Amino acid sequence: MYYGDTIEGLEGFYEISTKRNFLTPHSLHQAVELVEDNLSDHGRVGSSLMQAVRKDLFGDTLHGEDDFFRRVQKLRDAMNANNREAASLMVQAVSKHFEADTILSQALNTRCKEEYRSMASQQIKTLEAGLSQMVSSGMLSFSKANEQLETAKREAESKAFQQFYQNDGQKRVASAIWAELATSPNRVRLLSEADDFEEKAMLLLA
């Protein structure tokens, strides 16, 4: 995930982690640019790349994303104040918050796939029955039937995918996911840890 790689790069820069990746900055200036380009909320209206990344991670309608971007803004404030310790704490706060939101985004992606694939399954079953009869009667070879079935599966899933999103299926699922998981023990714990890091950082910036 692009956001995850960005946070890992910042963790390397602030020596929170020994891990380094292709995004690990070599100076404060590069670190500030990394946050501006890859983590800020301009991804909602910015480059097509960041819009796509943001949609993959959070979905168009996932609740609570403003809280994540608010925390990113506080990270930017700490970096602009050139307070390395406060910035390090805010990186950890953002990392915990991202981990908490990933619980939601992964559940959202999984549930959406399950729903639109279920929409396609009935059409596929009907086609399978028809092709099976044609194979049994000798009208179609087994290999040709399999080829047609695979093509039909892709087309059915593609059509179901489009219908699902056009009919606001993601909005409905996102609301359900939020109701189920927003206050799940794991997410509450991660957000509490994020709050603790942020509180320490704000004390240093006061």
| 41-61 confidence digits (pLDDT tens) | 654 444 455 555 555 555 554
Q: For the segment 166-206, what is each residue's pLDDT rounded down to a tens digit?
A: 887 877 887 888 888 889 999 999 999 999 999 999 999 98
The pLDDT, as a whole number, for residue 3 is: 82
| Closest alpha carbon to 38 in 76, 78, 67, 12 | 76
Residue with tokens 């080829």: 147
CA 116 to chain CA centroid, nearest Å: 18
* Arithmetic mean of pLDDT, 18-46: 81
* Arithmetic mean of pLDDT, 57-68: 62
Q: For the segment 134-145, what is each residue's pLDDT rounded down to a tens digit?
A: 777 777 777 877
CA distance 53 to 49: 6
Question: Which residues, 6+ apart, have CB-to-CB distance to 70 below 8 Å?
Answer: none
For the chain, what is the largest distance between any 2 Cα atoms, rounded to a whole number of angstroms?
Answer: 81
CA distance 35 to 6: 8
Number of H helices, E strands in the chain: 8, 0
